[in-house]
Every structure is written in structure tokens, then in C-alpha cells.
A = this chain, B = another copy of it.
């Protein structure tokens, strides 16, 4: 890829994640904020019906609807399957690449700061991440290869990625996180402009990133009812080391449940509200450093 010609900025893929929704609305109202000489920007509210109703989704999670089978199947009639096809028509008309980059704006009740989520180790994205982390130490990088097959909106594009900001409650706007996300978005567009001009800034080229290992569910009884909460000592400690023998859950009866792995891991997405129904209490990750 020699030039980034077209960038899509997507908000409201989950209708109750207001940071992205209102940032996209701001860009729609003040398009000059994201005007760049060398590239075109396109802004999109994804799950418009869920946004109107203040819900994550209407019938099913829109951000799991972008796998091939789903997009080609004409039997599905629920709202999100239909909307996924409409969005594909916008971002990938005639099945041809149309946008070079998709930035999908999400928020989370976990304390993820400003996390970039990548599906793979694409060198262009890793260099972008190295630049962004060099100018803002709150920026974290999470690589989750699993998500490649998950039907995520960002998979419509080779350079699709998520900005996941938190901790913030569903259906709440946190002004500080809103402003941090906005500044991060400007830095990303500026980097693309520099790239197009062949003028990428010199930076520290060692990137710290976190790679997916597995998910852990809450302890549950035979009916699927959760039996424990995230341990107070783990709550909001995303990206901090968790060692074998340290507590991860606290049962309702007041008993600690310890992490029984064999080595240090780095939990993230700790206590994300929308993941209770998915059977996910947290993602475990491994920490790496890489010269990019």
C-alpha cells in the first residue's frame, strides 16, 4: 500500500457506547475537523436503531455479523444482519476495497484506557501504534488474532482496527475520555497524512503490546447463574500483572478464588458489562515487546 486514500471513522457499532456515537456526531457537524489534504474521511453511525434506543443491539451483536456466511446469507431478516449488509455496501461496495482504513470507536466498563485492538501484526498498524504510544503513554495495544474470524466490522478492511476506551459506564458520556479519544483520532489522521507525504516521524521503534491468550468466565452454577464477582483487588487493574495464586474472583459467600495458571498474565476487559452474557469475565493476555 502506497497511500491511505480513504479512512472510515465508525461510531455506535454498539448503540450504548456513547463516546464513539457523539464523536462521530461531532465530526458530522464539524467536518473540517477531520479534513486532510491527502485523504478522504468518511464518518458513519453503525447501529442507528440501537443508538436511538440506547441499547448495545436490537436483535444480536452487530459486531459479530460481518463474517462471510452471514453477509452472503439472504435468509436472515433480523435488524443487525440487515444493517451489516448495508454497512458492507457503504464500506466495501461491489466487494471491492473502497476504504483503506476503518477506525471503529468502542467504549468499555473495563479500565482499558485508550486501547488499539488489532486482528494481526500488520507492520503498518504496528508502526502507527508505536508512534501513538510514543506521544501518549495512555495508549495500549492489544493484538487478538482470534477476532479475525469473529465477524467484526473492522474485518471489512485489511487495516481495520478498534479504539476501545474506558472505564466508562454504558449510556454515559465521560468528557475526559471523549477528549482523549478525539485527540487520538486527530493524531491517527495526521500520521496517515505524513505517511502519504512520505514523511513519517522518527520514533522509538520498540512497541509494547499485549496478545490474547484466552478468556476466563465467571464461576457459575449448573443453571448458568454467576457465583462470584471480580475480586476487589483485580477490579480496574487491566494491563497489570496477575501472578499465580493471586485472587481473581470473590464468591457471594465471601470466599477468594485464586488464579491457578502457571505464569504471570495480564488481564484486560476485566468486568466488561456486555461480556457477562458472552461468558467472559476477562481476557488474559501476554505482554511482548517488539522492534517495529
Q: Mark A residues whose CB is within 8 Å of B.
A: 22, 25-26, 29-30, 54, 109, 167-176, 178-179, 225-226, 229-232, 235, 250, 252-253, 271, 273-274, 276-277
Contact = CB atoms under 8 A, between A and B. Distances in A.
Nearest to A178: B229
A169 B109 contact: yes
18 contacts: A26-B252, A54-B276, A54-B277, A167-B169, A168-B169, A169-B170, A169-B172, A171-B276, A172-B273, A173-B229, A173-B271, A174-B271, A175-B229, A175-B231, A175-B235, A175-B250, A176-B232, A179-B232
Contact of A175 (B171, B176, B232): B232
B176 A273 contact: no
B30 A176 contact: no
A172 B22 contact: no
Query: Which 5 A-B pairs have CB atoms at the shortest separation, nearest pair first?
Result: A169-B169, A175-B229, A171-B273, A109-B169, A176-B232
A257 to B, nearest CB: 11
Contacts of A169: 109, 167-170, 172, 273
Contacts of A274: 171
Nearest to A253: B30
Main SS class of interface, A: loop
Nearest to A173: B229
Given A22-B229, A169-B169, A175-B230, 7 more contacts: A25-B225, A29-B252, A109-B169, A168-B169, A169-B172, A171-B273, A174-B271
Nearest to A175: B229
Contacts of A170: 169-171, 273
Q: Which of A169, A176, A252 has the largest count of B CB atoms less than 10 A from its CB? A: A169
Q: Which of A26, A54, A273 has the largest count of B CB atoms less than 10 A from its CB? A: A273
Contacts of A276: 54, 171
A256 B164 CA distance: 26
A168 B273 CA distance: 10
Contacts of A226: 173
Q: Which of A54, A175, A271, A273 has the largest count of B CB atoms less than 10 A from its CB? A: A175
A173 B250 CA distance: 11
A252 B22 contact: yes
A175 B218 CA distance: 13
Contacts of A174: 229, 235, 271
Contacts of A54: 276-277
Q: Which of A109, A171, A179 has the largest count of B CB atoms less than 10 A from its CB? A: A171
A144 B259 CA distance: 45
